[in-house]
């Protein structure tokens, strides 16, 4: 493979041929390399010739090109096809050691490595397997990988969070109805205060939503990640190429481990209190006057915001 890569390497840029062009002397170079050589040759000429002289970097023979330059040279189609096939079939290079193929499987770290990683890198002294053997072993263990996902626990937590939110929102809605009935028999000024009570309840509802919605979304994101991992696992399992299979399996394992290590959110202990009905019975039934209405409204406004800020997981609506 190394000898083939040497044959496919341009002698000017020492990289794989890119858009190879053939000179009349049969030597082949990258189009960009020939343009650089031509640019140097033209820059030393005082006159602008009708035909551009180009000296072959290998045999030093001079070729006269038309005014359109390197574009007039024929493309080495066969060589270009070989280079493209070689780039497609050669194993991926090691990210830590350029130009070194990932052709060994580290049993300890369960990932693809190159020869340098094994001899002088961080995998020195680790147990290894060839790709075929590692592929057979890892295929048998792949099913256990997805079994470690806490699918039932995640689904149950989503349902519980939704139920807790619905219950708390139901309490807020119940207080909303109590407030509405209480103010139906009052005059205009009390109706204005009713609207302020409703606004306080709306803010309490927003606080409840801000407490539960991020947790619900977090669990839903974990569910989506689980679904993607199950789909990815099926795709990896059907991969026939050992190299591609092991590389994709390593990525799958890292995502599974990340999901497993992600802690599940705890259900917050939130309370809607004091309840509107009890508040009215204790404070409003025998004192329906304007001064007390204004005082009560200030109490509601304070409870909704100060209690949540100071006590963290405690929401008061009235």
User: pLDDT (tens digit, 9 = 90+) per residue, 269-279?
Assistant: 888 777 888 87
Phi, psi of 129, rounded to the nearest 5 degrees:
-135, 155
Question: pTM of the predicted model, to two decimals?
Answer: 0.38
In this predicted model, which residue has the larger pLDDT, 86 or 80?
Answer: 80
Are 24 and 39 in a shared domain?
yes
Are 186 and 274 in a shared domain?
yes
**Residue 140 belongs to some domain of the structure:** no
**pLDDT per residue over 265-318, tens digit each?**
888 888 877 788 887 777 776 665 544 444 444 434 333 433 333 333 334 444
Average pLDDT of the residues in 77-93? 83
Looking up residue 31, the CATH number of its domain turns out to be: 3.30.40.10
pLDDT at 302: 36
User: Would you put residue 60 in left (φ > 0), alpha (ψ -120 to 50) or beta?
Assistant: left
Are 275 and 186 in a shared domain?
yes
CA dist 154 and 15 (Å) reads: 51
Give how many domains the chain has, as a whole number: 3
Are 298 and 173 in a shared domain?
yes
Structural domain boundaries, residue 9: 2-84
CA dist 31 and 91 (Å) reads: 26
CB 145 within 8 A of CB 170: no
Are 99 and 115 in a shared domain?
yes
Are 162 and 270 in a shared domain?
yes
Are 155 and 288 in a shared domain?
yes
Are 45 and 181 in a shared domain?
no
Looking up residue 118, the CATH number of its domain turns out to be: 3.30.160.60
């Amino acid at each position: 493979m190394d000898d083939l890569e040497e044959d496919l390497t341009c002698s000017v840029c020492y990289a794989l041929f890119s858009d190879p062009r053939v000179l009349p002397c049969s030597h082949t170079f990258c189009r960009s390399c020939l343009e650089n050589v031509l640019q140097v040759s033209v820059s030393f000429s005082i006159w602008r010739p009708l035909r551009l002289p180009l000296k072959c970097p290998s045999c030093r023979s001079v070729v006269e090109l038309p005014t359109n330059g390197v574009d007039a040279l024929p493309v080495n189609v066969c060589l270009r096809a070989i280079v493209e096939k070689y780039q497609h079939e050669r194993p991926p290079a090691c990210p830590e050691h350029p130009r070194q193929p990932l052709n060994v499987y580290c049993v300890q770290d369960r990932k693809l490595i190159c020869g340098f990683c094994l001899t002088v890198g961080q995998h020195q002294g680790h147990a290894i397997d060839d790709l075929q053997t590692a592929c057979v072993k890892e295929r048998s263990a792949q099913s256990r990988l997805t079994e470690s996902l806490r699918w039932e626990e995640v689904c149950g937590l989503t349902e519980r969070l939704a139920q807790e939110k619905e219950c708390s929102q139901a309490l807020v809605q119940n207080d909303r109805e109590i407030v509405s009935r209480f103010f139906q028999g009052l005059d205009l000024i009390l109706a204005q205060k009713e609207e302020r009570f409703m606004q306080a309840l709306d803010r309490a509802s927003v606080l409840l939503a801000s407490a539960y919605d991020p947790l619900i979304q977090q669990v839903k994101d974990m569910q989506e990640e689980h679904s993607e991992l199950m789909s990815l696992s099926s795709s990896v399992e059907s991969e026939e190429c050992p190299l591609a299979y092991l590389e994709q399996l390593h990525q799958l394992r890292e995502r599974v481990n990340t999901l497993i290590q992600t802690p599940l959110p705890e259900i917050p202990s939130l309370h809607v209190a004091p309840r509107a009905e009890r508040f009215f019975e204790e404070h409003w039934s025998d004192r329906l006057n304007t001064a007390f209405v204004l005082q009560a409204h200030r109490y509601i406004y304070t409870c909704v915001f100060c209690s949540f800020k100071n006590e963290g997981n405690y929401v008061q609506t009235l």
